Amino acid sequence: MSFSRREFIKLMTVASAAGFSLAGIETSKAGIKKNFNPGNMYEVPKFGNVSLLHYTDCHAQLLPVHFREPSINLGVGEMSGKAPHLVGRHFLKRFGFSENSPEAHAFSCLNFTESAQRYGKIGGFAYLATLVKSLRAQRPGALLLDGGDTWGGGSATGIWTNAQDMVDAQLLLGVDVMTGHWEFTFGADRVKEIVENDFKGKIDFVAQNVVDKDFEDPVFKPYTMKEINGVPVAIIGQAFPYTPIANPRYMVPDWSFGIREERMQEVVIKARKEGAQVVVVLSHNGMDVDLKMASRVTGIDAILGGHTHDAVPAPIEVKNSKGKTLVINSGSNGKFLAVLDFDVSRGRVRDFRFKLLPVFSNLINADSQMQNYIDKVRAPYLDKLNEELAVTDDLLYRRGNFNGTFDQLICDALIETQDAEIAFSPGFRWGVSVLPGKAITFEEVMTHTGLTYPIVTRNPMKGDYIKLILEDIADNIFNEDPYYQQGGDMVRVGKLKYSINPRAKIGHRIGDMELDGKPIDAKKEYIVSGWASIAENLEGKPIWDVVSDYLRDKKTVGIKELNVPKIIGMENNPGYTTAQ
């Protein structure tokens, strides 16, 4: 496509007026589509009198990233074939995006490498800051909500600064309210230190479902009341309910978590009695859990959710016995900023508008104050972060119910360096993508491995115990009752082959287990290497050193065969695509 001079000037004027720039993009080479007008994309007309901005699950990514969305995101039970369990062309059709459009790149896995080269990286706090400031200028009093998984789970500098890099970035960004999950993996003392000192009088950390184990007293404020243009708004916090199960219990030994649905209803009622005309839940449940909660807890206008990294361009309206609730999930890795506008009059919400904005770094000017901060906080570590370990022949990514190519690389490293027969790597949903032909840096390894309990393990396991592990994890993901789901993905497996039927009951999902072409013997012991154990006081090498040494030795890597299970009964499910 080509632009006339008049059209191009008009495009630049619109983009510039909104605070955006096409600097660094040549329109004739970037493949800009007719429907890709950055001025239109980022022009979100003001509506109503109460505005909320929301991002979640940035996983300490201060810089723009490539991040491939899943090709497998299976829903079971009532969630089968429904958002957020749609991928590829099924997703694009549901939300009205054309293939090869910038939205298709942001929201799907399709043509990822080609589209990444065309549209560039997404996210980054300097670009997010510009977008936040622009929208706030149009929306006086707008609140910025952080859904958690901000301090860690995928960052070298997060580990090395004990989360201070992200805490200071949040303060500079102007966050008003947040809840948590991976924040708790820095330990209870560190969390309280930040909440009671850095955040005091600036950011409200809310979590109605975190209580003291002995007396069930609230550990954090259950909610906060804010006034926006004269309208009282309650923001209720819902931290990740399964933190002491999915992450080490010893890090938060005195705190009890859980969904606490009844307590949520009590908090909603209390907030309404105190005058709240708008009640919003800032959640880290995961979207399926949010959808169920919305159908059962009344009086909530919207749930702004995270944890499962689902980027859903339109709210899902859930009806309950006394009305309806909007359920919103805003993606991950700093890729998106949600804008929710309410028209509130006579004490209640009358209407709303919503937009989920991809943060294309090529189309937004970096905020100079935030960029200077990022440069300063990263400066002491640049040599280490930028070390090029090896070159990849293939697209490396992590995201989807089963193995991604970066997961496969980690499993290959564990098997080779630990002299193991089988490797297990956690089904985390964080970790950036690396394009083919690019060098893999130490920082990119850390985006996949940077957590506070990184020690590599090597243990003998009997075949029946290996099956038990796989069955237990599968139930955490594919249980038909969302309240029993923990929101991650299947453990990534090296060398071991198996089949899985997500619709089966626990104990009957996993079959056809074999190693090197031979069936797994239930009573035989196999040497299994893994990492991210929730056991306390482990000694050994951190996973990032193991993977980095492996890459330095290989110099060039490629994934010849992706070790994924045979999926039974889901081949035509819209949560599964073979189109890449």
Tell me the pLDDT tens digit for each residue of 517-530: 999 999 999 999 99
Q: How far apart are CA 300 and CA 290, in angstroms?
A: 11
C-beta separation of 575 from 73 below 8 A: yes
Which residues face 461 on adjacent strands? Answer: 526
- Please check whether residues 54 and 136 belong to one and the same domain: yes
pLDDT tens-digit map of 407-428: 999 999 999 999 999 999 999 9
Residues 6+ apart with CB under 8 A from 450: 60, 152, 153, 154, 155, 156, 158, 159, 544
Q: What's the pLDDT at 40? A: 73
Residue 209 lies inside a defined structural domain of this protein: yes
**Co-location of 459 and 356 in the same domain:** no
* CA separation for the pair 268, 505 (Å, rounded): 35
Contact yes or no for 484/474 (Cβ under 8 A): no
pTM: 0.93
Q: Is residue 576 part of a domain?
A: no
Asked if 345 and 482 sit in the same domain, the reply is no
Residues 351 and 458 in one domain: no
Rounded mean pLDDT, 38-54: 88
CA-only gyration radius of the chain, Å: 23
**Distance, CA of 310 to CA of 329 (rounded, Å):** 6
Overall average pLDDT of the 179-189 stretch: 98
Please count the other Cβ atoms lying within 10 Å of the Cβ belonging to residue 538. Answer: 13
| One-letter amino acid for residue 23 of the chain | A
**pLDDT score recorded for residue 247:** 96
pLDDT in tens, 432-485: 999 999 999 999 999 999 999 999 999 999 999 999 999 999 999 999 999 999
Residue 8 pLDDT more than 80?
A: no
Range with lowest mean pLDDT among 7-11, 492-496, 536-540: 7-11
Residue 84: asked if its preceding bond is cis (omega within 30°), the reply is yes
DSSP classification of residue 422: E
Structural domain contains residue 74:
no
Question: What per-residue confidence (pLDDT) applies to 403?
Answer: 94
**Range(s) of the domain holding residue 33:** 1-40
> In one letter, which amino acid is 28?
S
Position 571 scores a pLDDT of 75
pLDDT number for residue 580 = 67
103 in any annotated domain: no
Determine the pLDDT at residue 577. 86
- DSSP character at residue 312: -
Q: Domain boundary at 375, 400, 429, which?
A: 375
3-state secondary structure 98-136: CCCCHHHHHHCCCCHHHHHHHHCCECCHHHHHHHHHHHH
Q: What percent of the chain has pLDDT over 90?
A: 90
Identify the DSSP state of 487: -
pLDDT at 570: 84
Strands (E), 478-521: 492-494, 497-500, 510-515, 518-519
Asked if pLDDT for residue 39 goes beyond 80, the answer is: no
Residue 281 lies in a domain: yes
Q: Give 447-462 as a DSSP string.
A: HHH-SS--BEEEEEEE
What SS3 class is residue 4? coil
Q: Which of 320, 340, 375 is the last residue of a domain?
A: 375
- Does residue 390 sit in the same domain as residue 325? no
SS3 303: strand
Query: How does the average pLDDT of the chain come out, rounded?
Result: 92
Do 61 and 334 touch, CB atoms closer than 8 A?
Answer: yes
User: Same domain, yes or no, for 392 and 362?
Assistant: no
Q: Are residue 408 and residue 511 in the same domain, yes or no?
A: yes
- Does the pLDDT at position 5 exceed 70? no
Q: What percentage of the chain exceeds 70 in pLDDT?
A: 93
16-36 per-position pLDDT tens digit: 333 333 333 332 222 222 334
Per-residue model confidence (pLDDT) at position 34: 33
User: Using CB atoms within 10 A of its CB, is residue 131 exposed (0-12), middle (13-18) or buried (19+)?
Assistant: buried
State the average pLDDT over residues 243-268.
Answer: 97
- Name the pLDDT band for 488 (thresholds 50, 70, 90): confident
Residue 82 belongs to a domain:
no
Confidence of residue 13 (pLDDT cuts 50, 70, 90): very low
Number of helices and strands (H, E) in the chain?
19, 25
Q: Does 313 score more than 90 pLDDT? A: yes
Helices 164-173 and 368-378 sit at what angle, rounded to 10 degrees?
Answer: 170
Maximum Cα interatomic distance, the chain, rounded to a whole number of Å: 75
List, for residues 109-140, the tens digit of each pLDDT value.
Answer: 999 999 999 999 999 999 999 999 999 999 99
> Do 319 and 392 have their domain in common?
no
Whether residue 416 is found in the same domain as residue 323: no
pLDDT band of 578, cuts 50, 70, 90 = confident
Q: What is the average pLDDT across 358-367?
A: 95
CATH number, domain of 454, equals 3.90.780.10
Q: What's 333's domain CATH number?
A: 3.60.21.10
Residue 22: per-residue pLDDT: 33
Is the domain of 274 the same as that of 321? yes
Residue 87 lies in a domain: no
- 147 and 331 in contact (C-beta within 8 Å)? no
Report the C-alpha gap between 417 and 29 in whole angstroms.
Answer: 44
How does pLDDT run across 322-344, given as a tens digit for each residue? 999 999 999 999 999 999 999 99
- Structure confidence at residue 569 as a pLDDT band (50, 70, 90): confident
Q: How far is it, in rounded angstroms, from Cα 126 to Cα 371?
A: 5
**Among positive and negative, which fits the CA dihedral 121, 122, 125, 126?**
positive
- Local confidence band at 572 (pLDDT 50, 70, 90 cut-offs): confident
Q: Supply the DSSP symbol for 65.
A: B
CB atoms within 10 A of CB 338: 24
Name the H helices within 250-353.
261-273, 287-296
Instruction: Sheet with 302-305: list strands edge to edge.
Output: 223-228, 231-238, 278-283, 302-305, 323-329, 316-320
Structure tokens at 89: 């062309």
pLDDT of residue 33: 29
Number of domains in the chain: 3
Residue 466 token pair: 């290996």
| Same domain membership, residue 524 and residue 492 | yes
Residue 159: per-residue pLDDT? 97
Same domain (yes/no): 199, 301: yes
Please report the pLDDT score of residue 18 as a whole number: 33
Sign of CA dihedral 225, 228, 233, 234: negative
Residue 12 scores a pLDDT above 60: no
94 within a domain of the structure (yes/no):
no
